[in-house]
Amino acid sequence: MVQHHTRANPLFLREEELRQAIELLFYAYRDFTGEPDAILTKYGFGRAHHRVIYFVGRNPGITVSQLLRILKITKQSLSRVLSQLVREEFVAQRTDSDDRRRRMLSLMPKGEELERLLTERQSRRIARAYREAGAEAVEGFRTVLRGIINEEDRRRVTLAGSGRR
Amino acid sequence: MVQHHTRANPLFLREEELRQAIELLFYAYRDFTGEPDAILTKYGFGRAHHRVIYFVGRNPGITVSQLLRILKITKQSLSRVLSQLVREEFVAQRTDSDDRRRRMLSLMPKGEELERLLTERQSRRIARAYREAGAEAVEGFRTVLRGIINEEDRRRVTLAGSGRR
DNA sequence: CATTTACGTCAGTCTCGTTGACATATATGC
DNA sequence: GCATATATGTCAACGAGACTGACGTAAATG
């Protein structure tokens, strides 16, 4: 697949290979977010709203501080978009009965609908790529991406899912 | 959180798998850009500067319009960061002798140095992930990422690298 | 010579990230 | 019960970086 005819210089090969990875990530993320971004604009929302809607939908009952740890942004940045989503009835807050300081977040019908719309687009893109690449490539894709993620957050992705070994 | 022990429903499994991909991409990109972002701050630059420096370094002599096509941002957005990079002598412009409307961009010594610094960090992260994952996984990673990229831009990544030159 | 292309710029807007200070409610350890 | 820590929200101010739309200039091109 990767026809490197320069076997003479392994260092060059390595750098070229790594630069390709950098570029693949850039282009893939650019296009991966491009479609949702366009949809969000119609709602007066941006990518930050998308992230909140996605992770709240994925983890119903998640608290603000848990969300902050995932997004790695400041309380202010989250607060702005979150309060907007609550105000416009995309997201609901209810007090945790165990610890009444906590606000448990969940999607309201409007939020669920938008979440589905956005996730559907992204899923379709991934599904197509997965289908074309085959199961073995998919495993490789997952493995490498996990390796790129900071160690402390790797568990976030594979614990929840089919990757139960 | 969400543990799926259901093997009964293949559709559900599929959705879970796709959501994991979405999250892998999110976390990987977040951490992939996190390190360079921190460095750039010290220079008074942002991620936009990084992208320009990277792609100019990678494609010496690239023109403004070519850069726009890669970054998919507007002329204004590019103009702001580019003129700053030129002013501060990270990037040089010289008129193309064939078509004197074009400005061919290249890195100046300061730009090359910063580019190396930033790319080094990202490369190290990728290299570690590649090493841990193995050659086969790397191929899968590349294949799936290429599939995620809009078709018209796929050639950007594999032609320039292993192909010519 | 008219049109198109490449590039730059001005003015204004918006999202979304930042810091730092402060307020409140609640939980928890002693 | 009190002191402290935690979870959350909010205010003010700021900066980066994206956008649109319009306009201007230089050069290439049909």
In DSSP notation, B55-116 reads: HHHHSTTB-HHHHHHHHT--HHHHHHHHHHHHHTTSEEEEE-SSSTT-EEEEE-HHHHHHHH
Residues in chain A with pLDDT < 70? Answer: 1-13, 159-165
In this predicted structure, what is the pLDDT of residue B69? 94
**Quick one: DSSP state of residue A71?**
H
**What residues contact residue A114 under an 8 Å CB cut-off, 6+ apart?**
A43, A53, A90
If pLDDT is split at 50, 70 and 90, which confidence band does B12 have? Answer: low
Give the C-alpha separation, B18 to B24, whole Å: 10
| Residue pLDDT, tens place only, B102-140 | 999 999 999 999 999 999 999 999 999 999 999 999 999
A141 and B143 in contact by Cβ < 8 A? yes
Q: Is the pLDDT score of B9 beyond 90?
A: no
Q: How confident is the model over B43-66, as pLDDT tens digits? A: 889 999 999 999 999 999 999 999
What Å distances lie between residue A27 and A23, B61, B145, CA to CA? 6, 21, 9
Q: Which residues of B touch A138 (CB under 8 A)?
A: 140, 144
Burial B103-130 (b: 16+ CB within 10 A, else e): bbbbbeeebeebbeebbebbbebbbebb
Nucleotide D16, nearest residue via CA and C1': B46
Q: Each residue of A25-42: pLDDT tens digit?
A: 999 999 999 999 999 999
What are residue A159's phi and psi, to 5 degrees?
Answer: -65, -45
Higher-confidence residue of A12 and B24: namely B24
| Domain A11-150 falls under CATH 1.20.1560.10 | no
| Residue A98: per-residue pLDDT | 87
The residue in chain B having the minimum alpha-carbon distance to the alpha carbon of residue A137 is B140
Nucleotides of C under 7 A from a protein CB: 5-12, 15-21, 25-28
Percent of chain B exceeding pLDDT 90 equals: 82
pLDDT, average across residues B18-22: 95
ipTM greater than 0.85: yes
Whether residue A32 and residue B123 make contact (CB cut-off 8 A), yes or no, is no
pLDDT of residue B148 exceeding 70, the answer is yes
Nearest CA of chain B to the CA of A26: how many Å? 8
Q: Find the CB nearest B24 among A27, A30, A146.
A: A146
Are B132 and A147 in contact (CB < 8 Å)?
yes
> For residue B165, what pLDDT is reported?
31
**Contact (CB<8Å) B137/A140:** yes
**3 state SS of A97:** coil
Task: Identify whether the C-beta of residue A156 lies closer than 8 Å to the C-beta of residue B37.
Answer: no
Torsion of CA A18, A20, A22, A23, to 10 degrees: 170
Strand C, CB < 7 A, residues 146-165 of A: none
DSSP category for residue A160: S
Give yes or no for residue B162 having a pLDDT over 50. no
**Yes or no, beta carbons of A140 and B139 under 8 Å apart:** yes
Taking each helix axis from N to C end, the angle separating A47-58 and A10-43, rounded to the nearest 10 degrees, works out to 90
> Which residue among A23, A125, A148 sits closest to B148, beta carbon to beta carbon?
A125
Mutate one of A22, A66, A70 to test the B interface: name it (highest B CB count within 10 A).
A22
pLDDT at position A158, please?
Answer: 78
At residue A107, the 3 state secondary structure works out as strand
Specify which residues B94 forms β-bridges with: B104
CATH number of B10-146: 1.10.10.10
Return the residue of A nearest to B33 by Cα.
Answer: A26
